[in-house]
Amino acid sequence: MKGTALIAGSGMLPGLLASALRAAGEPFVLAEFDGHPATLPEGVRGPASLTFRLERLVPLIENLVALGVGRVCFAGAVRRPALEAELFDARTASLLPRLLAALRSGDDGALRAIVATFEEFGLEVVGADVIAPDLVPGPGVLAGAPTEADRADAGRAAEIVAGLGGFDLGQGAVVAQGLCLAVETLPGTDAMLDFVARTGAGLRPDPKGARGVLYKGAKPGQDRRIDLPVIGPETVRGAHAAGLAGIAWQAGSVLLLDRAAVVAAAGAAGLFLWSRPS
């Protein structure tokens, strides 16, 4: 079987996927953005790794094909790079009009354009859940017990996230007592939770009422192979600091990183974790 390439960004996901591939005995290549090495556990980096820039995307893909790669998985957060015109090779430069148009259309459009380029070279692009299915929980409560008020807030937040999805703004919202305290935008979930921690107490109508819920879900029509929402231990810490009652997410559409640590942290903080049916 041909190997897998992990196009690695920041965070825990590249290490978790590399560990899963290594445990399964599957060969893999790690491709890291220049100046942004992935953080991997000791001993799982693998025999082959590449460093690349987006300005040389075509040579990267050709290198992967030459190494026997048959499928590609995008793993981890990636900041939009500043493109430097003098670094483009001729073949990647020919893709520039398409890439720039995609970048202007939002994160989803940019990722889809890059995915399409890999596919044009015969590479299969797969989601993280294909490599490590256990990262995507099915429906159920993993910690604590959401109240009826919490469930209502989660439902309201799910509607908001779905409504914002068409604008490619983000994949999360915080709702308390039916009111939207914040939505996720380009700075991400941690920044949203920090905002709620600083301002949320004054926004809740009833200080003794429901404390609020963080909800995360995929955008409507989102390509599930790329940029699925992520929840990890840091998310639990942020939700606790924001004074929320718990975290809910769209079952089957969110990556739960380091489940044992997330569940333990939620239990210690008194937060519920609810993988909510769509």
Assess contact for 192 and 184: CB atoms under 8 A.
yes
Query: Is residue 201 domain-shared with residue 85, that is, in the same domain?
Result: no
Q: Is the pLDDT of residue 39 over 80?
A: no
Q: Taking residues 119-124, what's their average pLDDT? A: 94
pLDDT at 80: 66
Instruction: Write down which residue in 77, 97, 131 finishes a domain.
Output: 131
* Tokens standing for residue 137: 């929980």
Same domain, 67 and 144: no
Burial zone of 133 (CB within 10 Å; 0-12 exposed, 13-18 middle, 19+ buried): exposed
- pLDDT tens digit string along 180-227? 999 999 889 999 999 999 998 888 889 899 999 999 999 887 888 888
Q: What total number of domains does the chain contain?
A: 2
Return mean pLDDT, the chain.
Answer: 89
**CB of 172 closer than 8 Å to CB of 161:** yes
- pLDDT, tens digit, for every residue of 234-265? 999 999 999 999 999 999 999 999 999 999 99
Looking at residue 10, its pLDDT comes to: 85
Confidence of residue 1 (pLDDT cuts 50, 70, 90): very low
Q: List, as one string, the DSSP characters of 15-66.
A: HHHHHHHHHTT--EEEEEETTB-----TT-S-SEEEEE-GGGHHHHHHHHHH
Residue 148 and residue 272 in one domain: yes
- Residue 203, helix vs strand vs coil: coil
Q: How many residues does the chain have?
A: 278
- 27 and 57 part of one domain: yes
Same domain for 53 and 17: yes
3-state secondary structure of 38: coil
Domain with 237, as residue range(s), is: 136-276
Report the candidate in 42, 45, 15, 11 with the shortest Cα–Cα distance to residue 28.
Answer: 45
Q: What is the CATH number of the domain that holds 109?
A: 3.40.50.20
Helices (H), 57-147: 57-66, 90-93, 96-104, 107-120, 128-131
- Is the pLDDT assigned to residue 104 strictly greater than 70? no
Residue 72 CB neighbours (<10 A):
24
Q: Distance (Å, rounded) from C-alpha 96 to C-alpha 99? A: 5
Give the helix/strand (H/E) hosting 173: strand 172-176
Give dist(CA 259, CA 207) in Å, integer: 31
Assess whether 141 and 271 both reside in one domain: yes
Answer whether 17's CB lies under 8 Å from 132's CB: yes
47 and 178 both lie in a single domain: no
Among 73, 104, 131, which residue terminates a domain? 131
